[in-house]
Amino acid sequence: MVIAVTLMLVLSSAQQQLAVGEHVFEYRILDNGLRVYAIEDPGETTSVFMAIAAGTRDETAGTTGLAHLTEHAMFAGTATTGADIHEKTIVGWGGESNAFTRDDYTMYYDHDFASEHLPEVLSMEADRLRGLTLESEPVLNERHRLNTEEEHAYQPSDGRAQQLENAVYNSHPYRHGLRDAGGHTKAPGLSVAQVKFFYDAYYHPNRAAIVIVGPHKPAAVLNMAEESFGKLESQATTNNHYFEPEVTASRTVVIKSQLPRDKVVRCWLTPKIQHADRAALDVLAAMLQRDEIKSGVLVNVSTGGRIEQELFKMSWSVGDHDAGVIAKEVSRMLTSYKLGEADASVMTEVKELLADVYTSQPMRSRPYFALAGTLSWYAAHDLTEVLAGYHDAVMAVTSDDLARVCKTYLAKKKCVTVTFRGTGEAVKPLPESISELQAEAAAAFETGHYARAIEAYTLILAQKKDPMSQIINFTERGSIHLEMKNYDAAIADFEAGLTYYDYPAVADMLEDAIAQKKRAMRGNL
């Protein structure tokens, strides 16, 4: 049964409810502007997710990495909790504590700790929200850690993604993510004073949201949170308003790359996340992703999930094919939707899969995949109605809507085409080290050399055995099999990945692969 996602009516001025699918959160907006959500979840442990409405988009070209460095500084200590003590305390209570930075927000989480310690955890979170001492030595230690993290985590494919955004956006700070040849932002050279400036500008209760999941009654949890955070003062904060001017004349950008073959990416600007057309654009992208062109070249289609004006992207590798022929075939794909020729049965399948992308998430797990974590950043930006209404918005999309958004946003004159010029060099044998294999797998996938990408992921899977790496690599390889219409291989990989962790995103991909296989079998009857 499809569960309608609706925003519940306000019950009282103090305590209200928000329904996301079958989950009903109790919440309270404190006098200082902090949004606190709680939901009862059976078990002996509790998880706390805190999102700050500030991320890399709030940096400048000269301060890239500042949001991430401030995230690290949140573990550098307060007057009552020393450097690294927050994390060690949570671990000592059986849980884990960490954080991550995204373009639109920064997320902190204390996950799976013994529930009797909830009051203390909330007190520690409130303490560091406004009480960091930001002493030089611990902050500079965190800067060193970040420097090492950037070196180890950076992949050439990340650099190409950043080059793409820098080429397409003219003024929006999403374009500021360029890194140097070593994979570094400006963070290694940023000062403690700059961290303090960012912290004082954005880290206030009226720019934050807390979601608490555990066995306690929600009313009691909200009272605990108010006891800890209610004493913090609301302050006028930096409220940046970002806008990217509409593209009114198509343009082409060519970027030299280390890819062996040319890669072409067509990009169009889409409206902000709260705009009614974002759901239709998501459906359109998912349907185009299933389509094929006559030359057999695989076209990857994607939309992002960021808050600001996002990019709708269609990309492909030229390889040995005629570039002009591919471009015309891609244009014909779009024309069919502009004419209202969307396949109704495929659209129904796509909508049913897409509509539950949030409600199918587990309530709490690692925050990248947790509904509670997702809710926290939507709430920090006062966008909970968008999250709560996404299911209904997707299910309401019609063929006429697809035609309209295709004409409105994906017009030829609004397109920015970015070509990553390949080296033309012969493909070398695959390397042996995991880091080099990962880079080769990403490059092969980007340029449509799918057999090579699959081979690289197979070698990685044979070497890297930790559960998190296994599910990621099985999922990556399964995604490539699905692109190639190798449904059985895709299904096998997704099922293998799910034996390590029951991640909803992978489960959705498995469901999609099964649905596509059934459709292909019906077509062959």
The pLDDT tens digits for 10-45 are 333 478 999 999 999 999 999 999 999 999 998 899
Q: Is 78 helix (H, G, I), strand (E, B) or coil?
A: strand
Contacts (Cβ under 8 Å, ≥6 apart) of 115: 43, 44, 45, 46, 214, 215, 216
- Rounded to whole angstroms, the Cα distance separating 99 from 90 reads 13
Which residue's entry shows tokens 């209200």?
16
DSSP label at residue 245: P
Q: Given this model, what pLDDT does residue 12 score?
A: 35
Q: Give CA–CA dist 52/75, Å, rounded.
A: 15
Strand, helix or coil at 251?
strand
Burial of 476 per CB tally in 10 Å (0-12, 13-18, 19+): buried
**Who contacts 188 (Cβ-Cβ below 8 Å, separation ≥6)?**
65, 143, 146, 147, 150
Arithmetic mean of pLDDT, 342-369: 88
Greater confidence (415 vs 505) lies with 415
**How far apart (Å, rounded) are the C-alpha atoms in residues 58 and 50?**
18
- Rounded to whole angstroms, the Cα distance separating 32 from 225 reads 12
Better pLDDT: 48 or 369 = 48
User: CA dihedral in degrees (81, 86, 90, 96; nearest 10)?
Assistant: 180
Residue among 75, 69, 43, 74 nearest 55 (CA): 69
What's the pLDDT tens digit per position in 250-285? 999 999 998 888 999 999 999 999 999 999 999 999
pLDDT bracket for residue 208 (50, 70, 90): very high
Per-chain mean pLDDT for the chain: 91
Rounded-to-integer distance, Cα 453 and Cα 458, Å: 9
The predicted model scores a pTM of 0.88
Nearest to 313 by CA among 522, 473, 211, 167: 167
Residues of the chain above pLDDT 70, percent: 96
Enter the CATH code of domain 428-525. 1.25.40.10
- pLDDT exceeds cutoff 70 at 524: no
What CATH code would you report for 27-229? 3.30.830.10
pLDDT at residue 205 is higher than 50: yes
Q: What is the pLDDT of residue 523?
A: 54
Residue count (the chain): 525
Whole-number Cα distances in Å, 321 to 62, 295, 445: 41, 8, 17
Alpha-carbon distance of 219 to 393, in angstroms, equals 31
Give the model confidence (pLDDT) of 420-452 as tens digits. 999 888 888 999 888 899 989 988 888 888 889
Nearest-angstrom CA–CA distance, 98 and 68: 12
The CA distance from 376 to 102, in Å, is: 13
Considering the chain, tell me which residue range(s) the CATH 1.25.40.10 domain(s) occupy: 428-525
**Using 50, 70 and 90 to split pLDDT, how confident is the model at 146?**
very high
Alpha-carbon distance of 297 to 321, in angstroms, equals: 8
Separation between Cα atoms, residue 134 and residue 147, nearest integer Å: 18
- Residue 49 three-state SS: strand
Q: How far is the C-alpha of 38 from the C-alpha of 229, rounded, in Å?
A: 15
The tokens describing 332, both together, are 């014909």
Predicted confidence at residue 375, as pLDDT, reads 97
Give me 290's structure tokens: 């299933």
CA-nearest of 264, 277, 271, 363 to 308 is 271
Residue 360 is predicted with a pLDDT of 84
Task: Please check the confidence at residue 499 and state whether its pLDDT lies above 70.
Answer: yes
- Tell me the three state secondary structure of residue 189: helix
What is the pLDDT, as a whole number, of residue 43? 87
- Residue 121: how many other CB atoms lie within 10 Å: 25
- Could you tell me where in the chain the CATH 3.30.830.10 domains are found? 27-229
Exposed e or buried b for every residue in 344-380, given b needs 16+ CB within 10 A?
A: eebbebbbebbbbbbbebebbbbbebbbbbbbbbbbb
